[in-house]
Amino acid sequence: MSNVQKFELCVIGAGSAGLSLVAGAAQLGYSTVLIEKDKMGGDCLNTGCVPSKALLKASKVAQGFRNTEAYGIKSHEPEIDFAAVKKHVSSVIKVIEPHDSQERFEELGATVIREAATFLDAHTIQAGEHTIKAKYFVVATGARAFIPPIEGIEKDKVFTNENIFDLQEKPDHLIVIGGGPIGVEMAEAHRGLACKVSIIDMGTILANDDPELVEVLRNDLVAKGIDLYEGSAVKSVKHTKDTVTVNIEKDGDAVVIKGSHLLVAAGRQTNCDKLDLEKANVDFDRKGIKTDARLRTSQKHIFAAGDVASGPQFTHIAGYHAGIIIRNICFKMPAKVDYKAIPWVTYTNTELANVGLTHKEALDKHGENAIKTISWPFEENDRAQCEKSTAGLIKITVTNKGKILGAGIVGPHAGELIGIWSLAITKGMKLKDLTGIIAPYPTFGEISKRVAGSWFTPSLFSDKTRKIVGWLKKLPF
């Protein structure tokens, strides 16, 4: 180890968590090295959030041509240049790339090494020809698509989120295994781009979301022509040169689905299996690296952040983790994670957003007698009526005293509308705090004020209140 390089902080992985950490630590004066074996920007920029949302936007524009009759405009089937759509997706990545580039982080003062990293011991890693020692380490290596061991499946012939955006020819029939957010988003994106699409899931689509809200989205997917095979077990897959056949069992019956392309969106597996974590005595399992509330591993000077940290797998959580670790390392503050106000969104045309506890989670935690739910439909929102986007609702779960425990929204701009409820839960607000908001009219955002106000409607116009007002009106002004 004659050529050992020493740093105060070593970050492994240049995804959302790693980049945020390096940017913060380097600018605070820490000697920092970033190690990345693949693309800068990680999954979010290259194979996740950015390309998927760009593709969904193209799909939404195409779908818009088909739904104009209600506005007095003749609708028609758009002519789709699938390769040009993919150029649009690539161009969005190119615009954002400089922000995540090696050059930018070197300008911030960090050393960047483009090699795979492995631990030699708890204080040393090897990255290519580089031997590195550091006071602190952060593992932020993310996760990758999981391909289940299905009979007949050939991994080099299926698509995942990691390579679906490279596909240049339009699929005639895209079969999607997995009805989680990735599967549902990619299914709707391709359906809007004039592909036939089928979704297969062992349970129900979006099983982690409120069933009442999911039903609204399910109806929209079916109305668009997506075939749903929920409660279906995939028995085998057969690939030929131009087709793929998926044999499933649904309700005890054998069903054969033939398509042109197969997308597997059946979960994620963390990238910690090639780091030689055993040599550093860092505990991990199939869910990822085990951490405490401060994101420290079994070795207190080694932290884990983002998808690899066996917690919620969202890009915004990766950024949140980075902030927690910066506070621990750079400011010596015992900051801890708090997941009570985590928002998550499925970015379909009819968006589905949640924050805090779902209704079921609230029932399990507090009991039926301790919570209440209130809801308000988008059809009662004037802006939704103007834009003829009235499908959906907002659903709030609260304690009996009105403290907000969770919120779910399905409908237009749900991902934007959920933000105020995330703030409310973070600050421990009650519904009365939301009723005082002056919302501009007409906006979709009014729905939050309306649902909060509905909590007080029964008491406001009760017989007791009417009696009080009756007494008050007899008093002189």
Amino acid of residue 206:
L
What superfamily would CATH give domain 343-460?
FAD/NAD-linked reductase, C-terminal dimerisation domain (3.30.390.30)
Half-sphere exposure of 286 (CA within 13 A, CB side): 3
pLDDT of residue 311: 84
Q: Which helix (H) or strand (E) holds 115?
A: none
pLDDT at 476 (0 to 100): 83
Are 177 and 340 contacting, i.e. CB atoms less than 8 angstroms apart? no
Q: Which long-range contacts (CB under 8 A, 24 or more apart) does 335-340 make?
A: 335/294, 336/293, 336/294, 337/293, 337/294, 337/295, 337/311, 339/311, 339/312, 340/425, 340/426
Half-sphere exposure of 260 (CA within 13 A, CB side): 11
Map tokens 């492994």 to a residue: 12
Class of domain 155-266 as given by CATH? alpha beta
pLDDT tens, 317-374? Answer: 999 999 999 999 999 999 999 999 999 999 999 999 999 999 999 999 999 999 999 9
Angle of the 181-192 helix axis to the 49-66 helix axis, nearest 10 = 40
Residues in the chain with pLDDT < 70?
A: 1-2, 459-462, 465
The alpha carbon dihedral of 182, 183, 186, 188 has a sign of: negative
Domain boundaries defined on the chain = 4-40+101-145+269-329, 155-266, 343-460
DSSP per position, 180-201: SHHHHHHHHHHHHTT-EEEEE-
H/E element, 362: helix 359-366
Give the whole-angstrom CA distance, residue 140 versus residue 135: 16
Hunting for tokens 């989680």 — which residue is that?
180
Q: Do domains 4-40+101-145+269-329 and 155-266 have the same CATH topology?
A: yes
- Choices 3.50.50.60, 3.40.50.2300, 3.40.50.1440, 3.90.1150.10: CATH for 4-40+101-145+269-329: 3.50.50.60
Confidence (pTM):
0.94
| 145-171: pLDDT as tens digits | 999 999 999 999 999 999 999 999 999
Distance of CA 397 to the CA centre of its chain: 21
Classify the phi-psi angles of 218: left when phi > 0, otherwise alpha if psi is within -120 to 50, otherwise beta: alpha
